[in-house]
Amino acid sequence: MEEFLDKVMNEVEKYDVSFAEARIYDLTDENILVRNGQIDRATKNSDRGLNVSVIKDGARGFAMSYNFDNIPQLVENAVKVAKASVKKKRKDVELTDEPVIVDTYKTDFKIDTFEVPFEEKLELLLLSDSIMRENPQIKVAQSIIDTRRVKLHFSNTEGTRINQEQLYTGASVDATAVGTEIQKRSHHDYQMRGFEFVKEFNFEIESKKAADEALSLINEAKNLEKGKTTLVLDPYMLGLTIHESTGHPTELDRAMGFEADFAGTSFLTPDLLGKDYRYGSDLVNLVCDPTIPDHLGHYKYDDEGVAAKRFNIVEDGIFKNYMNDRETARDNGYEHSFGNSRMSLYDRIPIVRMSHLYLEPDATGPKNFEEFIADIPDGIYAKGWKSHSIDDKRMNFQFSTEIAWKIENGELSTPIKNLTYNDATPRFWGSLDMIGRENHILGLGPTCGKGVPMQAIWISHGGGWARFNDVNVFSG
């Protein structure tokens, strides 16, 4: 791969460009799905290609190809796009100055999931399936093992050379119960690890939990009357709420309007940067940290060759920072990029993407879940994503959960079905008054979609259990 990148850099020297970067993106993924005792999907795919980006006369040009045999044409195409873009540029493309890096990095794992025999994976999935379908009211059982490996080779004209390899593994179970209505419970997680994570996930235990909770939803659960209540979110629902109400509005390209034609804008407009905007209560510390190993959003360098960094998006309730890349950072007064530029395939341009974004635990908070709810006389504990919607500025949102429980006198009581909560982002985060000590980070999705053309990128979120006050809730 180094040979091909060297060819690109040598070819770029033939043109009067101020900057160029090249990437080789090599993806392999495997997905095995068992549904109702049968193999529904067993696929293994690979995709590899090369892209080059140049800046000429203040405009950017991009070109890509899966053909490694005609690099001169690839570079020429990128230069042609840059020349054409000059006619429509609003201003010159400028990038932050970043350190030159020469490094090779590989995420850590103990067992390469791709090397585990198919039969061993299938045995786990069939066991999971049989456990969920022990009760005839479970009409659909689904179990998945998902694996992805990405090798990214990066080079630019500043001298940065990086080879980076990531392996992630995911496990998922879904149980759908049918009675007078249809209800589903799912348990899943994804981590930047190997097959050792699948063993820790424990399909046997997670499958029984999913089935039992699905049966509880159709046989015991009640609907909830509309009203305001104390709401406790489990780390998964907390993570999804962070993703939609914090993650996307603080991606700087979106805040600058670059997604206005597709996914919308942001209520956190760039003029609020550095203005001590009150985003939530003093307990709200929302941190982006892709440097933490094992979690799904982990990487050492982003796809512009910038080292990943830990930083606060919200600190003590005050909005502090956006996620950014070299161009958006420079446009908004940052000295350096935070390293949030990512792409999902070789034929996509890297854009600003969230990675590992979480609510920082409270070191003085309750030490476990039982202690967390012990002092709540009345409220709701919500768990598991079902659906959501949010306006194009990421201000007003609505989330539905798969299951919830009434909290009465410090204990969980009646299961609740079809729970929905809605609020406005600053008011909701302003009502946060308690966070647990434990930090539970989960791989969500496992991917988040953004951009045109669409890019699906892997992310993780979470935190501790979190309590919010006077939240609108209803069943429907």
Q: Is the Cβ–Cβ distance between 116 and 147 less than 8 Å?
A: no
pLDDT above 80 (res 149): yes
- Give the C-alpha separation, 341 to 349, whole Å: 9
Predicted TM-score of the model (pTM): 0.96
Rounded mean pLDDT, 431-442: 96
Specify the pLDDT at position 476: 74
Q: Please give the single-letter amino acid code of residue 154.
A: F
Specify the pLDDT at position 1: 83
Bond before 350 cis per omega within 30 degrees: no
**pLDDT tens digits along 18-53:** 999 999 999 999 999 999 999 999 999 999 999 999
Specify the pLDDT at position 2: 86
Q: Is the Cβ–Cβ distance between 166 and 123 less than 8 Å?
A: no
- Give the C-alpha separation, 156 to 22, whole Å: 6
- Looking at residue 249, the DSSP 8-state letter turns out to be G
Mean pLDDT value across the chain:
97
Element (H, E) at 127: helix 118-132
Rounded mean pLDDT, 127-156: 98
Percent of the chain residues topping a pLDDT of 90? 98
Rounded mean pLDDT, 268-291: 98
Please name the residues in contact with 330: beta carbons below 8 A apart, sequence gap of 6 or more: 94, 95, 96
Specify the pLDDT at position 445: 76
Beta strands in 135-215 (DSSP E): 138-156, 161-178, 182-191
- Looking at residue 114, the DSSP 8-state letter turns out to be G
**pLDDT tens digits along 71-96:** 999 999 999 999 999 999 999 999 99
pLDDT above 80 (res 129): yes
Element (H, E) at 74: helix 71-86
Element (H, E) at 73: helix 71-86
Which domains can be identified in the chain, with CATH numbers? Answer: 2-219 (3.30.2290.10), 227-475 (no CATH)
Specify the pLDDT at position 73: 97
What pairing do the DSSP bridges indicate for beta strands 182-191 and 161-178? Answer: antiparallel
- Give the C-alpha separation, 217 to 414, whole Å: 10
